[in-house]
Amino acid sequence: MGDQTNSWKNLLQDSMPPDWAKEIDDFAAQIELNKQGKIEPRIFAETRLRRGAYGQRYDNGQRNDGKQIRKLNYPNEAIWKGPDTHWDAPGMLRIKFPWGGVTADQLDTLADLAEEYSDGIGHITTRQDFQLHFVHIEDAPDLMRRLTAVGITTREACGNSVRNVTACPIAGVCRTESFDVTPYSKAIFKFMLGHPDAQDFGRKFKIAFSGCSGEACGLVNMHDMGFIAKAVKVGGQEKRAFDIYVGGGLGPVPYNAKLLFENHPVEEMLPVTQAVARVYGRLGEKKIRGMARIKFLVAKLGIEEFRRLIVEERKVLPHDPRWTSLIEQYLNEGEKPAHKATSLKASSYPKGFLEWKKTNAYQQPQYGYVTVYVKVPLGDLTSNQLRALAGMARKYVKDTVRTSVEQNLLFRWVSESELPAFFEELGTIGLAEGGANTISDITSCPGTDTCKLGISASRGLARELSQEMTAMMEQMPEEVRNLKIKVSGCPNSCGQHHISDLGFYGVSRKAGSYTVPHFQLVLGGQWKNNGGSYGLAVAAVPSKRIPETIQRLTDKYIKERQKNESFQNFVQRIGKSEIRALLQDLMVIPSHDAEPGLFSDWGDPREYTIADIGVGECAGEIVAPSEFSLTAAEGKAFEAQLKLDQNDLKGAVDLAYESMIFSAEAVVRSRDREYVGNPDSTIGEFKKWFFDTGEFVKHVNNTQFAAFLFKAHENKLPNPNADEAHRRVEEAQLFLEAVHSYVVNAAPQPAPMPGK
Amino acid sequence: MDLQKINVKFFVEKGDNMPLADLIPVFHRWIQQDKLEGMLIDVTEYTHVYQGPGLLLIAHEANYSLDEMDGKRGLLYNQKRAPKKSAEEHLKTAFRRALQACSLLEKEPEVAGKIKFAVNHLQVFVNDRLVAPHHSQNYEELEKVLKPLLDSLYEGANHLLIAERDPKKRTGFEVKVEKAIGVEELLAKFSN
């Protein structure tokens, strides 16, 4: 214990690949230089992001403690790890697990790191990564060294780079796949990591693989680039091919991916990816961050032109032997089960086993083997659980464990007869809960718990809903049990709310002098077919009333659904007007005195904003003219969605535009209560006083929203197609949310009551 | 011996089944009222995980939590980035601060009478596998620092040090002292 010269760097030098070790040494050197003030904070921020080290909530040095905004006096006040980001503030480290593959040794290491540098929890993300929270930046190099020693790099886990390559977690053991996409996802990860053609992107770039088109699998439709496996006949012989997609993405405005190449030979996978990277790097937006994802480039150019560019680029690419050698290498690294195939034969089983097996065990096509879904609450695993799971991996399956985008862990190749013992062992670490992939298995992003962008407590809501749904599971009809709930803390969609039956994203609403946490309900999304369609916002409901919202919706579904009607079809049939009417009373915010609990979020007793309870005690509240405009904007946005449902694309686009004008008018009226004007003058006033001055952007922290308004004003889409109309309606909704944020953030906060 | 990352956990004698969510407002209030030493940042809840960190008060120097690791609930003081001190001083600080938190908690109106700490039953470990990997020499060194403090605090009462045997876990001891003593009485020793 006394050896102070000891260091992880020295200790692990023989276990780390030299190039990865050097990269970490370079990063450690940059940390030192930054501490000496020799690197600009914004440069250091991008440097650390590319190494997976993110900022975290409250790293700007202030926090609302429920009574007041308090300064957090981080010790090294003169050192910054990014613009407005304190050096000593806790941060998050994202750890890439390509294709979700994780070994027993890696689970053990994660356990140690979670204890020593984080809060004792390893968190599985919605992109098959792990995250550690509350990490100090100066601990990052050692943490990375320890990961590197077990074959993990955090390089390009964040920043404007190729992010984690995700893949269907049951690839290779799936009953509906065309072929196992694992070797291809490994090859693309290896090929693109640090590739010179992928170093000049304006934004991040996400790649996914699916073994088939019909299941959710890798969610290709929502990725920047995606591959769906196909078996095709060429000259009478069966060949492996991919349908290659580009330009999909969630985020505030979701885009469906477009088919770039159909039935493309697998051998062309890497050169095509390289060509896409080159074209995106060259032509993608670099200045306006909010418009820099490849989806905007594909939409702008059109898929035909984009395809032409890729074909041209492919022709001039210098040959790289790794295009084929990497694939061959990984094809030879097949997965082997730890134990012999057996069948499940027993006269009795542990209590709860058969019920658990229904939802958590997947019969592999390989005789005698099953894949087990370990349901992980909110994606959180303790260090003890991680270690125990590592032991179980060694004992039952070797290194065939994978993470899933639903924040669970999968153990593949469990020999069937060992399933009861496996179940019992899971029980000893509290992970034998059934209901994987059901309504009780809720996906959530970190939200206000740790994310800087979080608006509402997505994890708090998910925790509550998970408990309620689990308790009600036995009484639920099958149709409800199989619904999916996904929650994001803000419109950015890290919780993938767009592709679930019941999606929610965090928003806020002003009520007099208070601000009330809300979730926007999103309906109509599709999980299957690789995230086949995106839902639309229906109604913003106070956070604490979301359980009641779900109850009403599912009750109505059960009572009124037609034979074999899916929830998605049911929503489509009855229409959003009826659903909104069902929830209308829940959307009304009572006075603070009548229901104070509504004014704080799940798991957080702090009042959502500082309140002056004196307001509202007089004869009545004064309604500002801007609030009338906002109400009108809400109405138009909703009508636009109805038109979209009716396939009246032009009507939807026009109403979305009207909503945006009313929203802009609300902002203008916050400065000039008497303002009355037409769309041109409203845009002019908004631009002059709120956009050009930076006032609007300052309060909503994003340039993208105002860009939506200007774009809609300039191009009114006389003949919109379905994608354009869908997008315009989303943009109107987002601009409206931004205006709500502006109203909340820009309004002077009332002084707290004495003693409150 | 560098005990910068020392952890001390006092187990509960009463309150094993109390919902941890009841303590969320308490921890938030501690931040509002600067109830503990050091810079307090935020509250994080892990009530949904099995035998986990429970409820944490995240701070810069050291986290405080109602920890449930290994199925044993207790107040854990997890020192992370304290100023440089001797091993003895680190240990003393950790004990004092953990006891202060226990004392505060027992008095909070939401949980008064519902939670009580057995301050003669605790755990001490080093949260740093580089500084303190599992081997006998490290246990001896830790014991050398720990024993005098235990003797002084518990006035020479017999105590049992049970070393952590699992090599994957952190170097440390479970401590059982043969002397019933209350939080306040023990805390008072630090002002003497």
Q: Say what the pLDDT of residue A508 is.
A: 87
- DSSP class of residue A52? T
B48 with A66: Cβ contact below 8 A: no
For A373-398, write each residue's pLDDT tens digit: 999 999 999 999 999 999 999 999 98
Residue recorded with tokens 């962008």: A453
Q: pLDDT tens, B87-107?
A: 999 999 999 999 999 999 999
3-state secondary structure of A496: coil
* Distance between CA atoms of residues A293 and A285, nearest Å: 8
- A38 CB neighbour count, 10 Å cutoff: 10
Task: Select the residue of B25, B32, B81 nearest A136 (Cβ to Cβ).
Answer: B81
- Output the pLDDT for position A622: 38
Name the minimum distance, in Å, from the CA of A84 to any CA of chain B: 17
**pLDDT score of A618:** 29
CA distance A297 to A280: 8
pLDDT at A749: 41
Residue A440: φ, ψ to 5°: -85, -10
Could you give the maximum distance between any two Cα atoms of chain A, in Å? 83
- What is chain A's mean pLDDT, rounded? 91
Q: What are residue A729's phi and psi, to 5 degrees?
A: -65, -40
- Closest partner residue to B53 (CB to CB) among A63, A66, A119 is A119
Q: Which two three-digit tokens encode residue A509? A: 């609403």
Tokens 């159909």 belong to which residue? A262
B4 touches chain A (CB under 8 A): no
Q: Give this complex's ipTM.
A: 0.98
Q: Is the pLDDT of residue B177 over 70?
A: yes
Give the list of residues 6+ apart from residue A56 with CB closer than 8 angstroms, or none.
A89, A90, A91, A92, A133, A134, A450, A451, A452
Of the candidate ranges A162-166, A427-431, A688-692, B69-73, the one whose mean pLDDT is the lowest: A688-692
Distance CA A209, CA A100 (A): 11
Which is more confidently placed, A609 or B82? B82
Mean pLDDT score, A524-535: 88
CA-based nearest residue in chain A for residue B40: A72
* Structural domains in chain A plus CATH codes: 17-100+119-148 (no CATH), 173-331 (3.30.413.10), 353-428 (3.30.70.3340), 443-610 (3.30.413.10), 622-756 (1.20.120.330)
With CA atoms as reference, report the closest residue to A55 among A85, A14, A88: A85
Location of structure tokens 């107040």: B75
Answer yes or no: pTM beyond 0.95: no
User: A135: distance to nearest CA of chain B, Å?
Assistant: 10
- For residue B10, how far is the Cα from the chain centroid? 5
B165 contacts chain A (CB < 8 A):
no
Q: Is there a contact between A57 and B42 if contact means CB atoms under 8 Å apart? A: yes
Residues of chain B found within 8 Å of residue A7, distances taken between Cβ atoms: 130
pLDDT band at A756 (very low <50, low <70, confident <90, very high): very low
Q: Which residue of B has its CA nearest to A466?
A: B48
* Interatomic CA distance for residues A637 and A668, integer angstroms: 19
Give the pLDDT confidence score for residue A615 in this predicted structure. 26
Please enumerate in sequence order all residues whose Cβ is within 8 A of that of A338, keeping only pairs 6 or more positions apart, or say none.
Answer: A395, A396, A397, A398, A400, A413, A415
- Our measurement of the distance from residue A204's CA atom to the centroid of its chain's CA atoms, rounded to an integer in Å, reads 13
Q: Which amino acid is at A657?
A: Y
- B32 contacts on A by Cβ (under 8 Å): 65-67
Per CB-CB distance under 8 Å, the chain B contacts of A449 are 44-45
| Nearest C-alpha in B relative to A89 | B60
Instruction: Please compute the mean of the pLDDT values over residues A423-450 and round it to a whole number.
Output: 96
Rg (alpha carbons) of chain A, rounded to whole number: 26
Is 70 exceeded by the pLDDT of residue B181?
A: yes
What is the arithmetic mean of pLDDT over B69-73? 96
CB-based burial, A357-380: b 16+ in 10 Å, e otherwise: bebbbbebeeebbbbbbbbbbbbb
Cα separation, A539 vs A520, whole angstroms:
6
The pLDDT confidence band at residue A702, using thresholds 50, 70 and 90, is confident
Share of chain A above pLDDT 70, in %: 96
CB atoms within 10 A of CB A346: 10
* CB-nearest partner of A384 from B31, B51, B56: B51
Average pLDDT (B159-168) is 95
pLDDT (average), residues A184-206: 94
Predicted pLDDT at A5: 61
Predicted local confidence at residue A286, as pLDDT: 84
B84 has pLDDT over 50: yes
A709-729 pLDDT, tens digit each: 999 999 999 999 999 999 999
Contact B130 A7 (CB under 8 A): yes
Whole-angstrom distance, CA of residue A461 vs CA of residue A445: 11
> Does A236 or A701 have the greater pLDDT score?
A236
pLDDT value at residue A625 = 65
> B164 forms bridges with which residues in the sheet?
none
3-state secondary structure of B78: strand
Judged by CB atoms closer than 8 Å, whether chains meet at A119 and B58 is answered as: yes
Q: Whole-angstrom Cα distance, residue A106 to residue A112?
A: 10
In this structure, are residues A8 and A145 in contact, taking their beta carbons and an 8 Å threshold? Answer: yes
- Minimal C-alpha gap between A147 and chain B (Å): 14
What type of residue is A565? E
Q: Between A and B, how many residue pairs show a Cβ–Cβ distance under 8 A?
A: 121
pLDDT at A659: 93
pLDDT score at B192: 64
Model confidence at A437: pLDDT above 90: yes
| Residues contacting A179, CB < 8 A, separation 6+ | A211, A229, A231, A240
Domain boundaries, chain B: 6-188
Q: How confident is the model at residue B128 (pLDDT cuts 50, 70, 90)?
A: very high
Whether residues A1 and B132 touch (CB distance < 8 A) is answered with yes
A362-366, A373-377, B108-112: range with lowest mean pLDDT: B108-112
Q: Quickly state the pLDDT bin for A323 (edges 50, 70, 90).
A: very high
Q: Give mean pLDDT, residues A311-340.
A: 96
Q: pLDDT (tens digit, 9 = 90+) per residue, A404-435?
A: 999 999 999 999 999 999 999 999 999 999 99
pLDDT the model gives residue A400: 94
**What per-residue confidence (pLDDT) applies to A617?**
19
Q: Are A163 and A154 within 8 A, CB to CB?
A: no
Q: Does B19 lie at the interface with A, CB-CB under 8 angstroms? A: no
- Give the tens place of pLDDT for each residue, A582-637: 999 999 999 999 999 999 999 999 988 533 222 221 233 334 667 778 877 887 88
Label each residue of B129-176 as H, E or C: CCCCCCCHHHHHHHHHHHHHHHHHHCCCCCEEEEECCCCCCCCEEEEE
Q: Hey, how many other C-beta atoms are within 10 angstroms of the C-beta on B149?
A: 16
Residue A408's pLDDT is 98
Lowest mean pLDDT of A498-507, A589-598, A692-701, name the range: A692-701
Between the alpha carbon of residue A89 and those of residues A48, A56, A80, B65, the distances in Å are: 14, 8, 9, 19
Higher per-residue confidence, A445 vs A345: A445
pLDDT of residue B108: 95
| Measured distance between the N- and C-terminal CA atoms of chain A, rounded to whole angstroms | 49
Nearest Cα to Cα of residue A98 among A180, A204, A16, A169: A169
pLDDT range class, residue A250, cuts 50, 70, 90: confident
B24·A8 Cβ contact <8 A: no
Type of residue at B74: G
Residues A20, A23, A29, A34, CA torsion sign: negative
Average pLDDT over residues B140-154: 96
Q: How far is C-alpha A209 from the geometric centre of its chain's CA atoms?
A: 17
Amino acid at B188: A
The answer, for B163 touching chain A at a CB cutoff of 8 Å, is no
| pLDDT at res. A755 | 32
Kindly list the residues from chain A whose CB atom is less than 8 angstroms away from the CB atom of residue B56. Answer: 119
Range with the lowest mean pLDDT among A130-144, A189-203, A299-313? A189-203
B63 touches chain A (CB under 8 A): yes
Least confident of A142-151, A548-557, A646-655: A646-655
Looking at residue A223, the DSSP 8-state letter turns out to be: S
CB–CB contact B129 A429 (8 Å)? no
Strand blocks (E) in B4-73:
6-14, 40-45, 55-59, 62-67
